[in-house]
Amino acid sequence: MHLEKKIGLTIGKFAPLHKGHQFLIETAIKEMDEVYAVIYDTDIIKIDVKERAKWLKRLYPQLHIIYAYNSPQEYGLDEKSVKIQMEYLSKLIKNIPVTHFYSSELYGEKVAEYLNIKNRIVDLERRNIPINAKKIRNNYEENSKYLEDFVLNECKKMRFHN
């Protein structure tokens, strides 16, 4: 009997990488044979996509990184925004036989449906890790317990801008 290889996918800006992201990725790594993370470029913080990828690789060397440059700026769960985002994402992962989509957001259902894969929501209500990147960007020192030291140090060096 041949079992299908389980390949997980997650997407994000990881701006900055925090314990909630880590919980999501660690869940995916435990459950999947392989895991891919698409990292989107953003001007939300001054830390570029390659530096944010280094954070992920430092913690999860087995994680496959896909860089998302010049990503669409249309966000939302409306049909038009979803279509634009999904066409972009599909091009990025075109040759990867992804089986599961991991997120802590409602858009996970749309992504999984579009890609015709299983949706795996992790900690949607933020019960395990009660944080999100926006809260950290608004006050990273107050929320530093949700950041690895090397991420916090980089954030202090670069300073967020909103």
Q: What is the DSSP string of 91-155?
A: HHTTT----EEEESSTHHHHHHHHHTSEEEE--TT-SSS---HHHHHH-TTTTGGGS-HHHHHHH
Instruction: Confirm whether 32 is domain-assigned.
Output: yes
Q: How many domains does the chain have?
A: 1
pLDDT, tens digit (0-9, with 9 covering 90-100), for 115-146: 999 999 999 999 999 999 999 999 888 999 99
Torsion of CA 108, 20, 93, 87, to 10 degrees: 40
Instruction: Confirm whether 2 is domain-assigned.
Output: no
Instruction: Confirm whether 1 is domain-assigned.
Output: no
pLDDT, tens digit (0-9, with 9 covering 90-100), for 88-97: 999 999 999 9
Instruction: Confirm whether 131 is domain-assigned.
Output: yes
Instruction: Confirm whether 153 is domain-assigned.
Output: yes
Instruction: Confirm whether 93 is domain-assigned.
Output: yes
Pairing of the two strands 34-40 and 64-68:
parallel
Look at the pTM and tell me if it is higher than 0.95.
Answer: no
51 Rama sector, left if φ>0, alpha if ψ -120 to 50, beta otherwise: alpha
Query: What residues make up the domain containing 16?
Result: 7-158
Instruction: Confirm whether 88 is domain-assigned.
Output: yes
CATH number at residue 73: 3.40.50.620
Instruction: Confirm whether 77 is domain-assigned.
Output: yes
